[in-house]
Structure formats: structure tokens, C-alpha cells
Structure 1
Amino acid sequence: MSKFFSSRFIIIIVTLAIIIGISLWVLPNAVPLIIAFITALILDPLVRLATRRLNIKRSLAVLLTFILFLCFLGASSYFIVTKVVTEVVKIGENAPVYINEISDAFSKLEANFSDASEDLPQEFVDEINNQVTVLLSDAKNVLTEYDTVKKLTGIIANIPNYLVSLVVYLIALFLFMIAIPNIKKEFYTFLTPETADKVTFMTSRLSYVISGFFKAQFLVSIIIFIVSFIGLLIIAPEVAFIMSLIIWIIDFIPIIGSIAILAPWSIFHLLTGDIALGTKLAILAAILLIIRRTVEPKVMGHHIGLSPLSTLIAMYLGLKLLGFLGFFIGPVILIAFNSAREAGIIKLNFKI
């Protein structure tokens, strides 16, 4: 046990604790810079590939890669925004129809309840009426207290901050892409040759598995989007794209996922009497949930080198301990630990 709790191990643990403590304080205030650095690391292989294949200087390769990234970002944003605006306008045009459907649904529910309550005790009927009245009153109060104009004003007022963050992100991304070799060089000056070799192995392993992690997330999200889009083309083609896009975005939220959209949608149609549409939406929600829970651990394990069981445990514990971000941080911590152990930085060669 004395070998396990060596001075080197204690130094590593203390250093990691200090780094984590500083990170928890800095992270909320440096999100654009952190995202820019991570993006630069992701794009660095493309920069090196362009340098080798085109036989050009790194600065020119960085410029070309940065321009391509901007084009991709701009094209994606334009496509998504135009589609979203178009679909929102369609939904707005059909809003009166939806309102009439809701009114008809309440009328049907009221009529059905009146028919069903004829043989019930009057006290029970009165209690149900009171509870429904309280429920509707609470809903009205919630809607009244929710100041939509104030919320929209707050979002509009923060647009300059969002633009500043975007500009800082793009500038920092370009500078990080140029400075990555120097950052690595400066970092290795603080290490002994033996430690440098171990860290090199660990970072190469980490870069491989982290890229595999994001690749796995992307593949799973693409599967979710395709299945939801095809399903909604059959079920509700008029809102297929916008709803599948919303489902794709919401599905990144662990545990909740696509259920947060499809379940209320399905319940609404079941209550309004459209049993067929409500059932189809419920089936689609179940299919998406099964795909997410079965495919994700396998795809993640394949791309990041962890077994499906280890991946599932890491994601679950990360989610419970750290919340939403822990769903992604959990596997990364496990990957970092395994990489450090493989590199010999952390040794667990003890027996009880």
C-alpha cells in the first residue's frame, strides 16, 4: 500500500485537485475561449494534413482551414435559420386551427365528463369540478406571470453580448490554430524526457478517443435525426423537418431526450380524439428511446475504446454527479484515467 500512496501519486492527485478547482472557477467565464481551444484541437489534424498534402506553410494551411470552417459554419447556420423561420411561419399561420382543435377537445372532454358523471355522487362531481377549476386557474396564473415580452426583451438585449462572444470565439480560434505547436512546445519544457514520452502517449491516446467520442455522438444524433425525420414524414409531413430538428437538438439532453417533445405531442392528440396520430407519435417516441439507449453505448464504446458497460457506467455516474455535462465528462474522465494508466503515469499495481 505504501507503493500505491507514493509521493508521486500524491503530487499528481493534489495537482489534479488544484486544476479542477481552478477550472470550476474559470470555466463559466471563459466558455468562448475554451470552445475555441477545443475546436482548434479538433481542426489541427486538418491543418497538418493540408500542410503535408499541399506542401504549404502552416500559417497558410491554418488560413485555408479557418476559411473552410467559416464557410461550413455560415452555410449550416443559414440553412437551419431559413428552415426554422419557414416552419415557424407555417405553424403561426395554422395557429387558429390548433386553437380551435384545443377548444373542441375541451368541449368534448366536458361533454364526456357530463355524460359519465350522471350516475356518480354529486359530492364527487363537485370535487372534480373544483379540482379542474383550480388547475385551470393555476395554469392561467402561470401563463399570466410568465412575461413573454420581458423574456424576449432580455434575449434581444443580450444579442450584443452574444455577438461579442462569437467574435472572441472566432479570433481566439484562429490564434489558437496558429499557436498550437508553440503551446505544445512550451508545455513540454516543464517535463523530463521520460515524463514527456508518457504525456505524449497519453495526449495522443486522448486526442484519438475524444475525437472518437464526438464522432460517436454525431453518428448517434444523425441516426436519431434520420429516424425521426422519416417517421414524421409519414406521420406529420407538414412539420417534419422543424420537429425532427427540434427533437435532434433536445435529444442531446440525457434521460429526457426526444420524449420531452413527442410525449406531450402524443398526449395532446390522444386527448383531442385523434387516437391514430397520438399512437403513431408514441410509437415513434419509443423507437427513438430504444435507439438512443441501445445504440449509444455500443457506438461510444467502439469509437472510444471502452466496453459498452464501462461507457454506460461512466455516462450514468457523470450524469448523476455532475448533471448534464457529466454525461459527456464521465467517459472523458474514464478515458483520461485509462490513458494515464497505460502511459505509466498512474500505477495501480497493488494487491490486498
Structure 2
Amino acid sequence: MAGILDSVNQRTQLVGENRLEILMFRLAGRQLFAINVFKVQEVLQMPKLTLMPQRHRFVCGVVNLRGKTLPVIDLSQAIGMRPIVPDERSTIIVTEYNRSVQAFLVGGVERILNLNWESILPPPGGAGRQHYLTAITKVEEQIVEVIDVEKVLAEITPMSTKVSPEKLAEPLLEFARGREVLLVDDSTVAMSQLKGTMAQLDIRCHCASDGLRALNLLKGWADEGINVPEKLLMVITDAEMPEMDGYRLTTEIRNDPRLKDLYVALHTSLSGSFNEAMVKKVGCDNFLSKFQPDKLVDVVCERLALLHPPE
């Protein structure tokens, strides 16, 4: 099963083209679910499972994989479906999110599919598992639900939005008070973390749930005659979003003379080494991994230092 991901390195060429590849799988029923291939390290038959006392109810236990101990999360139970009973034939998907590695127990892996982000849509209002979805798409007339893994992980290990006192004491932050930023993310958990951090800096937030909505908002301001680079301290955008990803959003910003001077920071759960290359490719000014409030403040300070250099 690990062979399904052998050509991941080639997939970096999709970035900037508003394309992605999803790994499709089933849980406790026939419904198809998916996550981005870039988050997946490997797919394999589950090694011996070791139970843990007082573990979270979504965690089946732990496995040892090449000397590393990984939690195994029942993804079906975590999103409100019936649990999957693990056995020696069980399949796990090993993933990396926000600098942590974990395994998800699934009912079975289907295949990898190459898609355009324009075919990935926000979940409709009133959807039964909308709370755990970031998007939906259709494959061969069947709905595929893209799971908000960040929300699942945050419910198991809650993330803090609290900024350390020493960071808040940075003199440059005096220039942040009353400024405005645009936050772009399809994950409600990530958006909440961003807003919580910005509130501690007295920064006003505008929000968009995908790159296309963000771009339309920016262009709308520009059409009204607003100097958008002066209005916004920065744009902080996720990488993966329905309809338009953060890489394409950055490219569109750089191609619009009215927006090209905006400071754009990529805020993502993808690995740092991958994003270093992609940031340069599409012209982002900065990037950081999600759920690091102190690092987010550092990025704000770096931006402020450009606007208010020491005398």
C-alpha cells in the first residue's frame, strides 16, 4: 500500500497551478472521504496495536513504526460515525499535520485523484457532517467529503491561542494596534486560532473561507478606490482551500498592480521544507506552521519592522 504514494515528489509541480491530489478512503460505511496527499506519509497495514490507559476515546492505541510511537486515531468515530473495530487486517494512513505525526484508522483506501481546486467546493449548509468537513467534491457522480483533520486533532489535543507575555512586550506591537489584516482559511479551528491571536494584538480581522472569496474582497476594495496595501497590514492565508488555494491567491495578488505590494504570509499545516520552496515560487513574503501563536506574533513583528525601521 505504501507504493500508492511513491511519486509524491512529482506532485509538488501541482502547486501554483490551483491543483491538488486527494487520497480517497472509506470509514465505517460506503461514503467516500478524502485528505490531501501532501499530508500523507504512507498507507499501510496496521502494525501491532498497543492499548494505552486513560487514552482519549478517539484514540485506539499506539503503534511502533520504525522506532517511533504513533497514536492511532479512529477517524470514523472522531467525526461522529460508528467506530471501526481494529484487527490485523486494518489499514492506517500515516499523516503529518502541524509538525506532528499520527496514524488514522480507516475502513479502506481507494485511490489517489488529481483535481482542480475549482472543483472542490465548500460543504453545503445543513450537511450532516459539515462540522468536520472543509470541502466536498464529486467523483464519478459520488460525493467525496474532505475532512477537517485540524478540527479532529484539536479536539483530541486542544491548541492554545495564548501569546506569551514576553512576545506581547515587544515595542513594535504598538504600531499594530488598530491595524487591519485579512485572514483566509477554510478550517474553522485555524480561523479561530488566528482571530484569537490577533485579538491580543488589538488587530482588526477581515475573514474569508477560501482564496476566491479573499481575492474578490481585495479586488472589491480596490475597485472602490481603496489603497489596499495601505489598508491591510498583511494577508495571512492557508495553502489548501476550496475553489482557490493560497498559492494561486498569492499569484493573483502579485499579478494585480493594485494589490501586488500586499504582504502575504502563508499559514499552513504542511511541512516547512516543502513550503520554503513554494513560498519562493509564488512570491509569498513569509510562512509559518499553524497553531504557533508566538511565531505568528513574530511574523507580525517582522512586517512591522519593514514599515517602521529603527532610526
* TM band (smaller chain): under 0.3
More helix by proportion, 1 or 2? 1
- Structure showing greater radius of gyration is 1
- TM-score normalised by L of structure 1: 0.23
Higher relative contact order (CA 8 A, sep 6+): 1
- TM-score normalised by L of structure 2: 0.25
